Amino acid sequence: MSIRNSTPALVNDAVNAVNRLLLSQRNEQGWWTGRLSTSALSTATAVMALHKAAEATDDEVQRLRWRSLMKGGLQWLADHQNSDGGWGDTVLSISNISTSMLCHAVFRATAEVVQQQTLPDETIARWQQVTESSGQHIAQVGGVPAVIRRYGKDHTFSVPILTHCALAGIVKWKDVIPLPFELSCVPHQLYAAVRMPVVSYALPALIAIGQVIFKHRGHWNPIVRMIRHAAIKPSLNVLESIQPTNGGFLEATPLTSFVCMSLLGCGLLDHVVTQRCLKFIEASVREDGSWPIDTNLTTWVTTLSVNALGVSNLGERQGVSPASIPSPDSAANGVWQPETIRNWLLGQQYRVVHPYTHAAPGGWSWTNLPGGVPDADDTPGAMLAVMNLRSPEESFSSEEISSLRAATIWLLDLQNRDGGWPTFCRGWGTLPFDRSSCDLTAHTLRAFYLWLHRIPGIDQKLRIRTEKSMQRGIRYLENVQRADGTWLPLWFGHQFNEDDENPLYGTSRVVRALGTIGRNSSDCCQRAVRWLLENQNDDGGWSARRGLESSVEETGLALDSLVDFPAARLANDKAAQWLAARVNEGTVDRPSPIGFYFARLWYFEDLYPIIFAATGLNRWRNRRLS
């Protein structure tokens, strides 16, 4: 039976088209780089760091270059202020107190310099208006207390925001919560025991921001003062030792800028860490004068793309091998070469202890750049991609088998006592990225299942350990399922839903995993499926919940998770038709800001809608053909 007799021709054409579109997004090397959204928050912090550097330097040429970059950033911020006077994290985001405070602060900090520049009078007047309206917005939404309320006990982001504002002169230093930077001097094995007040990835901020706060407000306790004075130099040595070669901590402009402006606030312009930070900031600016939230998610979007385009029949039960997908017509993208991508992915796996987080070998990061660190979402994603790049008939190389075994052990060692998986490391405490997460746990279960069923020669001891680990992971998911049948993710949200929650993302990821590992009929899975079906919008698409505007990303995710459930066939067909309409009208590549970066910072990735649409549509077509 032909494909056109078994599926609507319109949808089938859309599946082919979205596959070609996704393939056309590859870089010259043959994998995917993607493009992260520009960020008002990143731009504000970068401009502040450059402003402090320009104030500190005696090099007039350097000062002029930094102020030129500042001007571009300020102009971009002025052009992208929301109508209410605030800013959101992306150009598609509603205003929030954090980003609005940072942007307002940088306009206030640079006001005197702006007056001295040879800028048109209308530009100066416009920026003054921006400053006034943003100040009014911040007063209306609560100012400093609102920032503190937003993050609660987690000081990872509230303290950097307040430090930025204190350096700008709009917040008093006494209102900035001190950070115990001396804790960075204890052996890293004791980080969990000393109960760090920030999450594990924020060690650079703890050191640099802690020092600038101490410089400006000291400490009432003479013993603490003595300890902190003694810890300044050794903690700076720690900071230098964990800085990536390109200067960008986590490849993140905000984190790097917070470190940079804090060191400048301590009078450390010539320190090697400061200079590397400034080089990273200069290198990261975009043509329009703005900065992105992070450099790229190359490894992450490559694994998502591989897994969207072709997943092996065994375990994932998802159809064709990538090798059978036709190449796009564009010669610039070359031909589809699974071996090239496979070798590149294997080369991104960490083979030594990570110098920053001290993570053991075996994991993958979201990026191929020096600032990345291994985590429990990219690692199972890479495992799935390595396995899905071979058809069921192909055998795996010894290098692939060794790589997958190391990744499995890395994930096994990361599992928390509650049975779930955290992001970076286990045992630091109760802060978000150290807690177990349903979406990461589900992703890991999928990778473990496919590894157990596809890789030959797994030793019995490791097999048993993995199977027991999976049972603990399943119990974790059962325990954290909400009463309505949903799960909440860590890395994704929805700005128009209550508390920024996105139960569609979390629930679809868990249902997808439960389907893969053969738990379709379990009570928790069936309750989740009912919720997904009940929350499909009338137009056939999905959002975080019924009634919110359907998005390509969320519809693709829901379709991907439901294709194995006969009761969802009508809903799946409607979703496939909705996605096909977006493909055929040329809007399938319009992203939505559903991504959460660190500390609830919104972002979107240009490839997400294309990837998730391809994932759902390919799964739907393959199920209809089976």
pLDDT band with cut points at 50, 70 and 90 for residue 322:
very low
CB 590 within 8 A of CB 609: yes
Rounded to whole angstroms, the Cα distance separating 17 from 64 reads 48
Instruction: Name the pairing type of β-strands 291-292 and 601-603.
Output: unpaired
340 within a domain of the structure (yes/no): no
Average pLDDT over residues 479-492: 95
- Tell me which residue of 216, 291, 213, 282 sits closest to 50, measured CA to CA: 282
Residue found by looking up tokens 């088209």 in the block: 17
φ and ψ at 609, to 5 degrees? -60, -40
Model confidence at 323, in pLDDT bands (50, 70, 90)? very low
Compare 491 and 318 and report the one with higher pLDDT.
491
Amino acid present at 180: P
385-474-489-196 Cα dihedral, nearest 10 degrees: -100
Whether 370 is in a domain gets the answer no
The DSSP-derived string for 485-533 is: S----SSB--TTSGGG--HHHHHHHHHHHHHHTT-TTSHHHHHHHHHHH
Q: How far apart are CA 344 and CA 559, in angstroms?
A: 30
Asked if residue 191 is part of any domain, the answer here is: yes
Three-state DSSP state, 220: coil
User: Residue 433 pLDDT more than 90?
Assistant: no
For residue 397, the 8-state DSSP code is P
Output the domain CATH number for residue 271: 1.50.10.20
Residue scoring higher pLDDT (188 or 86): 86
Domain-embedded: residue 610: no
Rounded Cα gap, residues 521 and 41, in angstroms: 45
Answer yes or no: is 58 within a domain: yes
Length of the chain: 626
Residue 188 confidence (pLDDT): 64
| Alpha-carbon gap, residue 543 to 99, rounded angstroms | 25
Q: What one-letter code names the amino acid at 485?
A: G
- Look up tokens 């998730």; give the residue: 612
Going by C-alpha positions, the residue among 146, 145, 71 that lies closest to residue 113 is 71
What pLDDT does 120 receive?
83
The dihedral over CA atoms of 465, 470, 471, 476, expressed in degrees to the nearest 10, equals: 130
pLDDT tens for residues 376-424?
999 999 999 999 999 888 899 999 999 999 999 999 999 999 999 998 8
Maximum average pLDDT range among 121-135, 177-191, 195-209, 314-328: 121-135
Residues 6+ apart with CB under 8 A from 221: none
Q: 39 forms bridges with which residues in the sheet?
A: 291
346 part of a folded domain: no
Instruction: Read off the tokens for 441.
Output: 């746990």
CA angle 104, 110, 113 (to 5 degrees): 155
* 298 pLDDT higher than 90: yes
Long-range contacts, stretch 15-18, CB < 8 angstroms, 24+ apart = 15/580, 15/614, 15/617, 15/618, 15/620, 15/621, 17/583, 17/584, 18/579, 18/583, 18/588, 18/610, 18/613, 18/614, 18/617
In-domain check, residue 542: no
Q: From residue 294, how far is each of 25, 110, 354, 394, 605 by CA, in Å? A: 19, 24, 20, 37, 11
Cα separation, 141 vs 143, whole angstroms: 6
Q: What is the mean pLDDT of residues 226-233?
A: 96
What does the pLDDT read at residue 623?
Answer: 86
Q: Going by C-beta distance under 8 Å and a sequence separation of 6 or more, which residues neighbour residue 25?
A: 32, 34, 305, 607, 610
In this prediction, residues 61-66 reach a mean pLDDT of 95
- The verdict on residue 447 lying in a domain is no
Q: Is the pLDDT of residue 358 over 90?
A: no
Q: What is d(CA 11, CA 568) in angstroms, rounded to the nearest whole number?
A: 18
> Is there a contact between 17 and 621 (Cβ–Cβ < 8 Å)?
no
Angle at 209 between CA 35 and CA 56, to 5 degrees: 85
Structural domain boundaries enclosing 229: 40-292
DSSP string over 366-388: S-SSTT---BTTHHHHHHHHHHH
Q: How many domains does the chain have?
A: 1
CA 539/CA 130 separation, integer angstroms: 39
pLDDT tens-place string over residues 361-371:
999 999 999 99
| φ, ψ (nearest 5 deg) of residue 147 | -60, -45
CA-CA distance, 151 to 158, in Å (whole number)?
Answer: 6
In the predicted structure, residue 430 carries a pLDDT above the cut 80: no
**For the CA atoms of 239, 245, 251, 253, what is the dihedral angle to 10 degrees?**
70
